[in-house]
Structure 1
Amino acid sequence: MKQLFQHIKGDRAIWAIVAILAIFSFMPVYSASTNLVYVVGNGSTLGHLIKHIVLLIAGFAIIYGVHKVPYRYFSGGSVLMLPIVVLLLVITLAQGTVIGGANASRWIRIPFVGIGFQTSTLAALVLMVYVARYLAKNKEKVIAFKDSLLQLWLPVGVVLMLILPANFSTTAMVFSMVLLLSFIGGYPIKYILYVLGMGLFGLLFFILVAKAFPDAMPNRVQTWESRIDGFLSGEKKENYQVEKAKIAIATGGVVGKGAGKSIQKNFLPQSSSDFIYAIIVEEFGLVGALSVIFIYFLLLFRILIAAKKATTIFATLLVIGVGLPIIFQAIINMAVAVNLFPVTGQTLPLISSGGTSIWMTCFALGMILSVSASKNETEETILDDNPLDILHETID
């Protein structure tokens, strides 16, 4: 055991929190997967649990591998990866799947493996690192808005425009996180307001185009409207998912019905992913609900500590940029389950089933642990790295 811990670097508390969330997820995923088995007719409950465990093991391997990489490589790596994720997003839009007649262009199929990959999660991670790099590089400079439009906001805008047609919630979350990171990184507030206005105008323009040409992006704007209307109307004709989630939460009580004894898992769609928090509340009650919230806020606390202890500006912004979206996503998922937010489709990090979400979360955590494991670095060493030099060094 001592030899194992010798190879694990970085914040041990973060390692422990991730392990707790992963182990805890076994029971909710196993329990909630009965919906997929008996209602959808997909596989077996044991099969879904084994798949989830395998994905988590692969996730821990990602964390371990990434946290061994000096964090300065992520700076140049984001520049190299940005054109790649743009290409992947274009391919995703062009070859996305259609489920039940609705546009679900979020996934691409990995050749020869047969595994689906949600490209928007990778794009969001790369984009946050790229923004952290830009802000750190220009921290001591007077930023001209025209220059930043080309160097910062053009890449951000391209990525978000490619994500938006298939995934509004991810687009909104990433845009919010980019603006928050820009504020923390010292980007002028008046420029942030300009960008916010441009983003809202771009969204309005997209909606108008989608309304004018409904065949180009079928069902997307209508889906957004129905979710928002269902959330704001306050009528009894609620979204079916939200109604079942509220029943699950209401019947959970203080200590819950017990592990595996959820009733609503048999009626609640996406009970093992988007609405798994409702199943947790039903089975583990208020105690389980508050415990999960506490663990995520403990993770937030450790992320902020890692950011504070970072030795360079880039390291600090990197930790905040890839760490806060994990917590923000968890808050959104739980808020949707208790009907505080409209349905978004965001998973509960490290607990919900799903490969891409788990792996990208683990990649982000690996970056954070790489920073917390680092010794003294200089900002010049990190930001003056040529991305091509990093590529050559990695290959060698």
Structure 2
Amino acid sequence: MSTTFARTDTSLIGRWWWTVDRWTLAAVIVIAAIGAVLTMAASPSVAERIGYDAFHFVRRQFVFLPAGMVLMVAVSLLSPRGVRRLAVLMCAVSLILMIAVLLVGVQTKGAARWISIAGLSVQPSEFVKPAFAVLAAWMFAEQRVGNDLPGYALASGLFVVVVGLLLLQPDVGMSIVVGAVWAVEFFLAGLPLVLVGAIALMFLGGGVGAYFVFDHVRIRVDRFFDPALGGGYQVTKALDAFSNGGLFGRGPGEGRVKELLPDAHTDFILAVAGEEFGLLLCLLIVGLFAFIVLRGFSKVFKGNDLFSLLAVSGLLVQFGLQAIINIASTTNLMPPKGMTLPFVSYGGSSTIALALTMGMVLALTRESPGAGGPR
């Protein structure tokens, strides 16, 4: 395909092809393809169990994934200024919808995180994450380069607003991800070491506070440290699935965990991968996530644009941390937290929001013509 466009091609697509990180693009597409296969493997049993036809989730995900890939490529065509403008629009709309969720949202498992729009269930908090990462990076960068803008205060104020709305839903896990993005960007922007310690203490205090304030957090933590309390059904079955799958898996369609887990197609889809396709596929998935994150950092740190460095770092922290939380929850390395595995788990809002995230990463890590680093 690389011979399709000559290096002298000055068209929009031609310039994009020779400046975009094609390795990262390919890795994301491979993860999405694996996700499509696993959705076909995991979701029919879940759909039938809750009264839908067997391919209900498959059909929907086969709309979300191609749409997400097209959207990712479209966003990757943007300039840094275009990425900032998109983030402003996304953040404004997401915050309005997050407020609406608190008023008229759909409650599921004790949390109000979704809102119905034109017959579609949308989770606005998925879209506020990449928007926040870009806007906070912009604010931090503006103050760091000496412009007359209180960027640190504005970014911190936006952080408080976003986390406040998330905790009202409540969504502690998403709040942790947004907090990590804010902290990493603040640190890279030149945060004094004294404030690094203060923020670390703030996060520690927030974790302790969440344990005492939110019942579901306390129950999950207690059960994690003391399995004798009961619960942990999905995690136990997921571990059994990994054991049954071994190195090469039982074979496509031969798994049984998808018949037992209500979230086999979303939060615990890695267990289906382990049982039917084995440890090798799970390691491939982990390796692809690690490759995307590490390659993104290596490319953006070669450039000299502070905004791109901060924004890409925040977006990659969000992307990588979401994958880590999902994998660690499934393998019982941390208390369970309902969070999708990027581009692998079923979910419309998650897939589209992650496509926007990776589109922004690709846009901000594109190389300048004739240069070796990001624009």
- For normalisation by structure 2, the TM-score amounts to 0.88
Corresponding residue of 2:154: 151
- From 74, 97, 101, give the equivalent of 2:106: 97
CA distance in 2, matches of 1:35, 1:92: 30
Deviation at 1:246, TM superposition (A): 1.2
The one-letter code matched in structure 2 to 1:44 is A
Q: Distance in 2 between matches of 1:290 and 1:153?
A: 37
Residues 187-198 of structure 1 correspond to what in structure 2 (within 5 A)? 187-198=191-202
Given that 2:163 and 2:175 are in contact with CA atoms closer than 8 Å, whether structure 1 keeps it comes out as yes
Deviation of the 1:306 alpha carbon: 2.6
Q: Which residue identity is paired with 2:59?
A: I
Out of 51, 54, 59, the position equivalent to 1:44 is 54
* Cα separation, 2, equivalents of 1:78 and 1:97: 26
The residue identity in structure 1 corresponding to 2:251 is: G
Answer whether contact 2:172 2:210 (CA < 8 A) is retained: no
Contact 1:32 1:271 in 2 (8 A): yes
Structure 2: tracts of 5 or more residues without a match: 6-12, 370-374
Secondary structure of the 1:164 match is helix
Contact 1:28 1:260 in 2 (8 A): no
CA distance in 2, matches of 1:143, 1:200: 33
Task: Give the total of aligned pairs.
Answer: 359
CA RMSD in angstroms comes to 2.6
Query: Which digits, 9 at most, give the CA deviation of each residue in 1:207-261, with x for residues without a partner?
Result: 77x6xxxxxxxxxx22212111111113272411111111111111111111221
**Corresponding residue number in structure 2 for 1:298:** 291
SS at match of 2:110: strand
**Equivalence for 1:213:** none
Deviation at residue 200 of structure 1 after TM alignment: 5.5
Q: Deviations over 1:137-159 (max 9, x none)?
A: 12245999xx5674221111011
Q: With the length of structure 1 as denominator, give the TM-score of the two structures.
A: 0.83
Deviation at 1:283, TM superposition (A): 1.1
Change (3 A) 1:143 1:366: same
Q: What CA distance in whole angstroms lies between the structure 2 residues aligned with 1:371 and 1:178? A: 18
5+ long unaligned stretches in structure 1: 211-220, 377-381, 383-396
Structure 2: which amino acid aligns with 1:162?
Answer: L
Show CA shifts across 1:279-308 (max 9, x none). 111111121121111111111122113312
Give the Cα separation in 2 of the matches to 1:347 and 1:123: 16
Residues in 1 aligned to 2:330 and 2:249: alpha-carbon distance in whole angstroms: 16
1:127 aligns with one of 102, 124, 132? 132
In structure 2, relative to structure 1, the CA distance for the partners of 1:303 and 1:238 (3 Å cut) is: same
Q: For the structure 1 residues 143 and 286, does the alpha-carbon distance in structure 2 shift closer, same or farther, using more than 3 Å as the test?
A: farther
Is structure 2 residue 164 aligned with structure 1 residue 161?
Answer: yes
Q: For 1:106, which of 113, 118, 122 is the aligned residue? A: 113
* SS, match of residue 128 in structure 2: helix
**Aligned partner of 1:17 among 27, 30, 33:** 27
Are residue 241 (structure 1) and residue 234 (structure 2) matched?
yes
Q: Specify whether residues 334 and 143 from structure 1 end up closer, same or farther in structure 2 by C-alpha distance, changes over 3 A only.
A: farther
The residue number in structure 1 matching 2:372 is: none
Shift of 1:173: 1.6
Q: Which residue of 1 is the match for residue 257 of structure 2?
A: 264
For residues 102 and 211 of structure 2, what CA distance do their matches in structure 1 show? 17
Shift of residue 115, structure 1, vs aligned partner:
1.0
Asked if structure 2 preserves the Cα contact closer than 8 Å seen for 1:97 and 1:103, the reply is: no
1:16-36 Cα deviation digits (max 9, x unpaired): 101111111122111111332
Equivalent positions of 1:279-294 (< 5 A) are 279-294=272-287
Q: What SS class does the counterpart of residue 79 from structure 2 fall into?
A: coil
Kept in 2, the 8 Å contact 1:70–1:374? The answer is: no
Q: CA deviation at 1:203?
A: 6.7
Letter of the 2:29 counterpart? A
* Percent identity for Structure 1 against Structure 2: 27
Report what 1:69 is aligned to.
Answer: 78
The within-5 A match list for 1:208-223 is: 221-223=214-216
Are the aligned partners of 2:189 and 2:310 in contact in 1 as well (CA < 8 Å)?
yes
Q: Judging changes above 3 Å, is the alpha-carbon distance between structure 1 residues 203 and 248 closer, same or farther for their aligned structure 2 residues?
A: closer
Distance 2:207 2:93 in 1: 24
Task: From 69, 77, 80, give the equivalent of 1:60.
Answer: 69
Q: Deviations over 1:53-92 (max 9, x none)?
A: 2101110111121111112233355445544432221111
> Could you tell me how far apart the structure 2 residues matched to 1:345 and 1:115 are?
20
CA drift of 1:337 comes to 0.7
Rounded to whole Å, the distance in 2 between the matches of 1:342 and 1:13 is 34
Deviates more, 1:256-265 or 1:68-77: 68-77
Q: Which residue of structure 2 aligns with residue 373 of structure 1?
A: 366
